[in-house]
Structure 1
């Protein structure tokens, strides 16, 4: 009987390498498929970093060279320094090439991505993670006369360069509007800040959560105007059915809308413009396209439709990183943990919630709330890998 001796290398190889040594790996697996990720937000950058751990070749296409860290725009608006890691640093050691340009067209039939400089980049699999953008809601003058959260640096210069204090009108009673109003009021006490909302400010929160927000706004001398629908924005302020609201500076913090490229390219989308995906975040109309973040209309059993935001975008990106690098084949699973809002530098609200995003009565405020919120926002960039 012949004895077979097998000598293993000292370092334990990966399962992929074992299969390769045994001759069970196809040629296209050894070279890796080309996966293109578009968008470098919470979902896109997490996906690219995760996929880059596997055998596939990855190209990340996004104009930014630094991570935007969108949930801290209110801090940038008052001139605070915010840590924004280099994308190259996030992707260090991963098999990912970053192409710093903008995608303007998708050729889904030809499996190509078209960039603003005219390049046509082929892919085997596409990860669409362009996210969302400010929704001006067809309000006349809004885009011309108001600053969005994405224009935080320009907003900061406008306020600091003003010859004298005036009135800042923040439009929107959601999380972005609340965070901007409190931050601006605290940093610029000589300015009058008004928070203008079409509905109740913080109305989605528990009674305790909303009451705390209103108390902080009152303490910071923010004038709250609820049930005021803005019909136009002018150089001198806001127009509403109840009369004009004078303002020297207008900040637009209304809702967000998905980037239109998904609908324009022919992906199956909802009426809102989000791509319809299955339980693996794969487009139902184009199986070689995966969608993550604000661009995806994602439903999870027992949870329902997921809302836009980094709380869902980053877990989806991490999931695709595992799925497309061969580290999982399970459907996407998710539960909400909490909702957090900054209310200036000294205050915050941590709203406890159920897994389906419905509110619990309890909230955490004060120094404890601030510590929790700070820990979360500082941990986000660290968890991108």
Structure 2
């Protein structure tokens, strides 16, 4: 009897985790251009010039029945069940795992894609800072977790630079009052300037235009939002308002049940928890679950509850915000060295959990 062909698109938190688990029993083809795992939640460290922590994909897959094809998926034909690659090849599948994740969203802001660095270009930010003739002004656009971590890390690593964080709403506005105060205290203590309620309307070579006036900047890092890869919608999978593929309780596409969608690409609604947000905290549990489904270890629906939200705030500070299972905030936070050590343990555990 011919063995079913499982194809996984994407080697991020969800895709790589699913591939390693499914590859314990089945034969899997992993399609992703990366030779090393992109540890996205540590991109702020890369931008600051710290050593990267990116294990080789081959090492993560060691001992598994997984073939890695270093290519990009350019088109899907869901009728004939084939993935077409940018190198001209095509790969047939019986079961497809779509885990292409998300990318920087520019939201049509004039000049943003031309004059700002998305978080995917963290290495280029580090090089710009390293080779600059003199310190200048650096603006981080986005008051979410990525923007906060970038602003803190860059301000601490490059104290000669004036770091500004610019947000359309409040910086860390979703945290509890105690958590938000701590974030602001640490950022200001590192010398970062906080600019809230300023929507960026244009980006140019000399800085930002916002709804509250100009903000000069020699270097702009864009961490305002992420969006799913458009290939799912282009292929004909049913997607929701944000472009994420809508899935059922077993993470199967509601329009194409032979396609599983996981990670940032999936719009997942869990009873009692709600529609899951994008991020490592939700992507890797999806990958673990689906890997076990494909390996025949479970047929139960996907279940998920949140536990904490955590931030790195430079090398010596961190924050762990305690939350309810539906992602709403509790009042308590853990800060200082305790928060930093917990965040470090969680981040290190992510890599260990890939296998």
TM-score, normalised to structure 1, is: 0.91
* TM-superposition CA deviations, 1:302-328 (whole Å, max 9, x none): 000000000000000011100011011
1:48 counterpart = 2:58: no
Provide the C-alpha distance between the structure 2 equivalents of 1:240 and 1:275, rounded to a whole number of angstroms: 33
Counting matched residue pairs gives 355
1:241: Cα distance to partner? 2.5
Counterpart pick for 1:284 among 243, 254, 271: 254
- Asked whether 1:363 is paired with 2:340, we answer no
Structure 1 distance, partners of 2:211, 2:23, is: 53
Following superposition, the deviation at residue 120 of structure 1 comes to: 1.1
Residue among 43, 49, 70 paired with 2:40: 70
5+ residue gaps, structure 1: 1-26
> Which whole-Å deviations, capped at 9, do the CAs of 1:336-376 have from their partners, x for residues lacking one?
11000000001001000011111000000001001000001
Per-residue CA shift, 1:176-201, capped at 9, x if unaligned?
A: 00000000000111110001000000
Equivalent of 2:191 in 217, 221, 238 = 221
Aligned residue among 283, 291, 296 for 1:313: 283
- Specify the alignment match of 1:257 in structure 2: 227
Which one of 141, 146, 150 corresponds to residue 111 of structure 2? 141
**Structure with greater Cα Rg:** 1
Distance in 1, matches of 2:53 and 2:266, equals 27
Runs of 4+ in 1 over 4 A off after TM superposition: none
Counterpart position of 1:230:
200
Q: Name the CA distance, whole Å, in 1 between partners of 2:211 and 2:339.
A: 38
Report the counterpart of residue 9 of structure 1 in structure 2: none
Q: Which residue of 2 aligns with 1:3?
A: none
Find the counterpart in structure 1 of residue 310 from structure 2. 340
2:126 corresponds in structure 1 to 156
* Residue in 2 that maps onto 1:248: 218
Q: CA separation in 2, counterparts of 1:77 and 1:48?
A: 29
Displacement after TM superposition at 1:170 (Å): 0.5
Shift of 1:232: 0.3
Partner of 1:4: none
Q: Give TM-score, length-normalised by structure 2.
A: 0.99
Uncovered stretches (5+) of structure 2, i.e. residues with no partner: none
The residue number in structure 2 matching 1:294 is 264
| Within-5 A mapping of 1:178-193 | 178-193=148-163
